[in-house]
Structure 1
Amino acid sequence: MANALLIGAIVAAVIGLLNIGLPLFLAEYFPVQLLWKQRNGKPTVRTASYAGRTALVTGANGAYGSRAATMFAQHGVSTLVLVDVFDCGKVKEKIETDLKAAGKAVPTILVWQIDMMTFEGCRKLAEHAKTLKSIDHALLTAGILAFNRRDSPEGWETSIQVNFLSTALIALLLIPHLKASPSNPNPPVLTFVTSFGIYPSSFTMGLPKSGSYLRRLSTSRDGMEQGHQYGRSKGALLYFARELATRVDGVTVTNADPGSAWTPLTNPNQSKLIPRLIMNISARDPIYGAATLVNGASAPASANGAIIHDFDEAGYPPFMNRTSGRVAQKRVWEEARAEFEAKVPEVSAVYALLEKK
């Protein structure tokens, strides 16, 4: 009898721990409800017309970027800027051909190439941006998924370089050129792409006891540790974006999560058991993710600092809302600023502008 009571107590305790602990664990590292909702979501572009406006899309050769650029064009954007490390000439041709076939107006389409492995490449993009009269929507989709560790010419692991540092620098350098067209009733929008990958990578994003936080995030070895680099780089970018949103005036800063899809970027995960299982749970047609990105880049001023999932705003990952997360956010901001001002002197004028708020 005593043994039966003991066993019953143990079973009850285990069930209790699972009922309490499992939801907490999933919320922290694997928000399955969020993934399932995205898998079944089918968002469409909310804005009826972008007539008279200018949209700039980085990563415009990618699965999401090319589709998002096409959506802007299909909804009447007047000037479309396609930016990528590769030549976007074929994307431009397809957009023009499809619009002509549908009897729709063809926008002015500019094709710019960029080297996101270097800060000089980011500077050149900003120089091009000076030629535009306005930028209503800046959608920064460019990114990499690096399964093997390499360092950029700037001395950073390539995921941290491209997905965080170069993307953040582009955003800063574009801020002086983000201006709404006369036909746009809302402030210009600057949109970063965020990812579910932040959640499982979060346990590797603790602050070091000493030394640079960004250098710690940039340190990785091939294997499981390198596998977290995409999430870590997106986590750093989300910290940066949330801080930027509190400092910039006249620009709406959003983070859009397109969800999961099998694309040329993610296809290497087909050979990896756990990533493949996660993708199979959550993957959907990339056209829906692209619509989410366009909606994120078209958000009203009230969405400043928000994370956009399909049509809805979502909360930040739990670890970011803790005191330690707020400290980490300041470290990301300050260390990135020191790196940028040391290598790209003209960015100091942008920081001075942000400090006026």
Structure 2
Amino acid sequence: MVSNWLLGSVAAIIAIATFGIPWVIREYFPYELLRKQYYGKPQVNTKSYKGRTVMITGANGAFGSRAAKLVAHRDVDTLVLVDVMDLKGVKQQIEQELKKESKPLPNILLWQIDMMTFAGCQEVGKKARELRSLDHVLLTAGILSFNRRESPEGWETSIQINFLSTALIAILLLPFLKSSPGNPNPPVLTFVTSFGVYPSSFTMGVPKKGSYLKHLSNNRDGMEQAHQYGRSKTLLLYFARELAARTTSAKGLAKVTINSADPGSAWTNLTSPNQAQLIPRLITNYSARDPIYCATALLNGASATADSHGKIMHDFDSPSYPPFMVRKSGQVAQQKVWEESRAEFEAKVPEVKAVYELLG
């Protein structure tokens, strides 16, 4: 009896070590992705943005401001900087750098908006009508909040800004995505994803009844709020994948490239609160790199060719979607995200109805 018990215990340990631990790592902590980004030092692939229009949201942030400077140093015609913060400082820095190197100054437009409200997002759509072209859109705006708050729209603020407002801006901009005459590729709209979707995935189950989005938004402080950044980014990744699939077959919309880019991690003003959180601090320390490489990875995603459509872009490759998104349950969750966000937008932002009709 004892020997059988020992044999059974040993077999169980071997099974856990052989199958269980690797499965957990693949699902919740694929450390190889983090390590590759830690060592990755990507360079800007596009040598010139001459004649093109590039829009960057979150342009006052660590990644957005650096991406804006990278574009400005490569002959961009029009640079649209969007943020909740005043952007005059970023514009001045760009112009000073270019003057110092005797480079031409682009037309820099500063759009200050409130992403806590859908009305603020609508302003981006209204202003975009004035643009002759819109070649590249990089949606870096986001927040990291360890304390639960609600937006004026009634959503937890991480879900409001990182998912709903970002998704709404994308829908509003779709009709205005147009390549300039000198750009041989379709216009690109790039969402920003995060490694945080992996450890947050075990909290992303779809409830048996009721709204999926409200279920995730009606969270509590503590562990749920600690995962809220990753949860909001998961919702955005679902939305991005569905949007890419629908634009492929949409009638009445010009061909566009929709993708998501993962910048990797860095210590920035956004992530600095993680210094007080043991696990997030250890993960960031394990993978953090200079923010300029993160910004470069994002810009390369937003400048990618049409074969990046529907994909996740890393430094030098395109990894598969997280395992939980590939399963049937992930497909169900994706449809819930699409349908519920569409209902929310159409109820509060009437002009998106025409775009959704084109998407089917």
Give TM-score, length-normalised by structure 2: 0.96
Does residue 78 of the first structure (1) align with residue 77 of the second (2)?
A: yes
Q: How does 1:135-214 map to 2 (within 5 A)?
A: 135-214=134-213
Gaps in structure 1 of 5+ consecutive residues: none
Structure 1 position 279 matched with structure 2 position 284: yes
AA aligned to 2:34 is L
* AA matched with 1:349: A
Quick one: which amino acid aligns to residue 76 of structure 2?
Answer: V
CA distance in 1 between partners of 2:52 and 2:316 (Å):
22
| 1:295/1:311 contact within 8 Å kept | no
1:107-126 matches, within 5 Å, as: 107-126=106-125
- CA distance in structure 2 between the aligned counterparts of 1:145 and 1:271, rounded to whole angstroms: 13
SS of equivalent to 2:81? strand
Opposite residue 17 of structure 2, the aligned amino acid is L
What SS does the aligned partner of 1:57 have?
strand
2:301 counterpart of 1:302 = no
Q: Distance in 2 between matches of 1:213 and 1:14?
A: 37
| Corresponding position of 1:317 | 322
Deviation string for 1:215-239 (max 9, x for gaps)? Answer: 0111211111101110110000000
**Residue matched to 1:23:** 22
- State the match for 1:292 in structure 2: 297
Identity %: 66
**Shift, 1:12, TM fit:** 4.7
SS at match of 1:313: coil
Per-residue CA deviations over 1:254-302 (Å, capped at 9, x if unaligned) read 1000011000000011011111111111111111110010000011111
For residues 297-329 of structure 1, give each alpha carbon's deviation from its aligned partner in whole angstroms, at most 9, with x where no partner exists: 011111100000112111111000010100110
1:196-233, Cα deviation, whole Å (9 max, x unpaired):
00001101101001000110111211111101110110
Match of 1:344 in 2: 349
- Secondary structure of the 2:318 match is strand
Q: Does 2:68 match 1:63?
A: no
Q: Distance in 1 between matches of 2:118 and 2:245?
A: 24
State the AA in 2 paired with 1:310. D
After TM superposition, give the deviation of residue 3 of structure 1 in Å: 5.3
| Larger mean Cα displacement after TM superposition, 199-208 or 346-355 | 346-355
CA contact (8 A) 1:115 1:122 kept: yes
Aligned residue identity for 1:130: R
Measure, in 1, the Cα distance between the counterparts of 2:359 and 2:133: 19
Q: Which residue of 2 aligns with 1:263?
A: 268
How far apart, CA to CA, are the structure 2 residues paired with 1:99 and 1:9? 70
Write the distance in 2 (CA, Å) between the matches of 1:154 and 1:16: 49
Tell me how many residue pairs correspond in the alignment. 354
Report the CA distance between 1:30 and its aligned residue. 0.5
Distance in 1, matches of 2:189 and 2:293, equals 20
The answer as to whether partners of 1:57 and 1:138 remain within 8 angstroms in 2 is: yes
Asked if the contact 1:59/1:84 (under 8 Å) is kept, the reply is yes
Give SS of 1:305's match.
Answer: coil
**3-state SS, counterpart of residue 56 of structure 1:** strand
Contact 1:292 1:310 in 2 (8 A): yes
SS of the counterpart of 2:235? helix
Whole-angstrom distance in 1 between the partners of 2:230 and 2:278: 18
Structure 2 residue 309 is the aligned partner of structure 1 residue 330:
no
Task: Say yes or no: does 1:243 pair with 2:250.
Answer: no
Q: What stretches of structure 1 move > 4 A for 4+ residues in a row?
A: 2-6
Taking the aligned partners of 2:77 and 2:54, their CA distance within structure 1 comes to 8
Distance 2:36 2:190 in 1: 22
TM-score scaled by length of structure 1: 0.97
Q: Deviations along 1:61-96, whole A, 9 cap, x unmatched?
A: 000000011111112111101100001111011011
